[in-house]
Structure 1
Amino acid sequence: MRKYDKLQQKGTDETLTLDRRRTVVNLSSHTLSEATTAILAKGMNFAVAPKRVPKEDIIESVEASVRHLPQAEAEKIRQETVRVLNKAKPPKQNINAEEYHAIKELRDNPLLVVVQADKGNATVVLDTTDYNKRMEDILAEPIYKKLQGDPTAKQTQAEPMQAAAVACFAGGEGDRCAGPTTVRSRLVAVRSARRFRAASGSG
């Protein structure tokens, strides 16, 4: 039985390695660690369990929802929300310490860009210079033209949340932010924060 178990475990390990090679494509000049490959193999939409219950965000969302309700009904919802939050506990962590550290290393590395492949479910890692060059080549094609103004100037309801996430990461408090919960949003928020710093001249 021991020999059978070892063979079965070997087959499982080989399958996992093959799956990771299919789902994580490293086109950069950097060598990815095992933990980095493992967390990227989970996909850009993988939801990372928060280390704490985002009570402030929940309360803010509830307040925005009950704003136009009758006072008595709104107060009842507020009290129920407080009761639930007082009993709430953080969810069980679904990534290990090495994978969490890998996300931090990726988002703090300005030399790398992580994107999802156009086809399939693969995650692609590129050098930032190579990524920028590819974008410039695409924009140089004659089918594109420069806009006179910003068509997204008007804020939508989703923008304040994105702005808060960007400001949080720009301030260096990414670990204490409760906003971005997926691998994609954590990386995108920090990428936006870098643009924020560059535009404001703060680093």
Structure 2
Amino acid sequence: MFNVRRAFRVSDLVLFIIKKAERALLRERINITNQRIIELKKDKNVQAEKVKERLKDDKNIYDITFYMVDKVGEKEFQRSKKTQINKLNKLTNKHIEKSNTVTEVDLTGTQLKQWVKVLSNYQPTEDEMKLIAKGLNYAIAPSKLPVRDVIIQTEVACQKLNIEQAAKLRHEVVGTLRSSNPPKPNLTKGERNAIKPLKNNKDIIIIPADKGKAVVTMDRNEYEEKCNNLLKDETTYKQLAKDPTQKLKARLINKLKNIRKENRIDDATYQKIYPTAEVTPRFYATPKIHKKDNPVRPIVSGINSITYELAKHLAKLLKPLVGKTNTIYRTHNTSLSC
């Protein structure tokens, strides 16, 4: 006879081992990264002194040299930061929320229309409607475990452990992998088959509604036409002869250098807001489905643009003052004033 209590005990033990192994891997990864940062900082200081001594008679070359060093260092920092965040998310978000699958799979046609607004000539199938209704941030359960990644990270962690601790960690990880199974699929067969047709349909665009949590399907031509009509408003927008990103970046760098020389910001803040990316802010629009003819709201995403980190820093400084002053300043000019 199947022993229910024993099954639960085994399940609890497996979850405990998984949790313990994940924490050990995460702690070791953090230690390795911190040690690497310390070593790089020491090496940078040593090399800086050597370069400073050799270029003491030519300050311009010295400034250019360390501008490039800082640029490369920031690039490596962002790459490493992104890697660590991804690993942390994999460890902390291992349990897929079930709420998205319980109510949405059994949605009726009327309920689907509350979550999906079809403005396109193309009418999605029932499975496509159910898939879209899950939302644009819905995470699809993987079909297999990332065994290779787990093994690689385990070996990285073992390098900093003694022989006994490394053997114990390997044993726990191997046991966990043998007893673990991929998460249950959170899509039906029909919904999974609907992914490719929707992805390959270039005649429509699937975007979030301006308000609420609904998802909208629009004809791509209509969407582009409405966006172009907004941009043709010469009282609001002005067409530029060329991309000003490089020029604005140079002005921001010069401004930051002057502020740093005056000791008005510390090194950490300087490195954080120093522009390394050159992404041009991106324009898109979201449809107002609650209004007649479904006009679109223009949005400009400045993520990874040259002033992105600067804007976040200023927002952090101004946040304590919000709502505590009698004057509010608003600006519609996205250019850099120096």
TM-score normalised by the shorter chain: which range applies? Answer: 0.5 to 0.7
User: 1:125-166: CA deviations, max 9, x gaps?
Assistant: 122223333344445542897542496738xxxxxxxxxxxx
What corresponds to 1:102 in structure 2?
Answer: 194
What corresponds to 1:86 in structure 2?
Answer: 178
CA 1:143–1:35 in 2, change beyond 3 Å: closer, same or farther?
Answer: same
**Offset at 1:59?**
4.6
Of 231, 234, 237, 1:142 maps to 237
**Offset at 1:120?**
0.4
Corresponding pairs, count? 139
Moved over 6 A (4+): none
C-alpha RMSD of the superposition: 3.6
Equivalences for residues 107-186 of structure 1 within 5 A: 107-140=199-232, 141-142=236-237, 146-149=243-246, 153=277
Provide the C-alpha distance between the structure 2 equivalents of 1:58 and 1:114, rounded to a whole number of angstroms. 35
**Offset at 1:93?**
1.6
CA 1:78–1:33 in 2, change beyond 3 Å: closer, same or farther?
Answer: same
Of 146, 149, 161, 1:54 maps to 146
What corresponds to 2:108 in structure 1?
Answer: 16
Provide the C-alpha distance between the structure 2 equivalents of 1:138 and 1:81, rounded to a whole number of angstroms. 56
What is the DSSP-based 3-state SS (H/G/I as helix, E as strand, rest coil) of the residue aligned with 2:245? coil
Q: What amino acid maps onto 2:245 in structure 1?
A: Q
What corresponds to 1:34 in structure 2?
Answer: 126
Q: What amino acid maps onto 2:128 in structure 1?
A: T
CA 1:40–1:66 in 2, change beyond 3 Å: closer, same or farther?
Answer: same
Q: What amino acid maps onto 2:178 in structure 1?
A: N
Q: What amino acid maps onto 1:54 in structure 2?
A: P
**Offset at 1:87?**
2.3
What corresponds to 1:70 in structure 2?
Answer: 160
Task: Name which one, 1 or 2, has greater alpha-carbon Rg.
Answer: 2
Matched, 1:25 2:149: no
Q: What amino acid maps onto 1:148 in structure 2?
A: T
What is the DSSP-based 3-state SS (H/G/I as helix, E as strand, rest coil) of the residue aligned with 2:108? helix
Provide the C-alpha distance between the structure 1 equivalents of 2:189 and 2:231, rounded to a whole number of angstroms. 40
- Unmatched 5+ residue regions in structure 2? 1-106, 250-274, 279-338
Percent same amino acid at aligned positions? 30
**Offset at 1:29?**
1.4
**Offset at 1:25?**
0.7
**Offset at 1:90?**
1.4
User: 1:18-44: CA deviations, max 9, x gaps?
Assistant: 221111011111111011111112222
Provide the C-alpha distance between the structure 1 equivalents of 2:221 and 2:166, rounded to a whole number of angstroms. 52
- Unmatched 5+ residue regions in structure 1? 1-14, 155-203
Of 113, 127, 136, 1:44 maps to 136
Q: Which has the higher contact order (CA 8 A, sep 6+)?
A: 1
Provide the C-alpha distance between the structure 2 equivalents of 1:16 and 1:81, rounded to a whole number of angstroms. 44
Q: TM-score, with normalisation over the residues of structure 2? A: 0.34
Provide the C-alpha distance between the structure 2 equivalents of 1:77 and 1:144, rounded to a whole number of angstroms. 60
What is the DSSP-based 3-state SS (H/G/I as helix, E as strand, rest coil) of the residue aligned with 1:47? coil
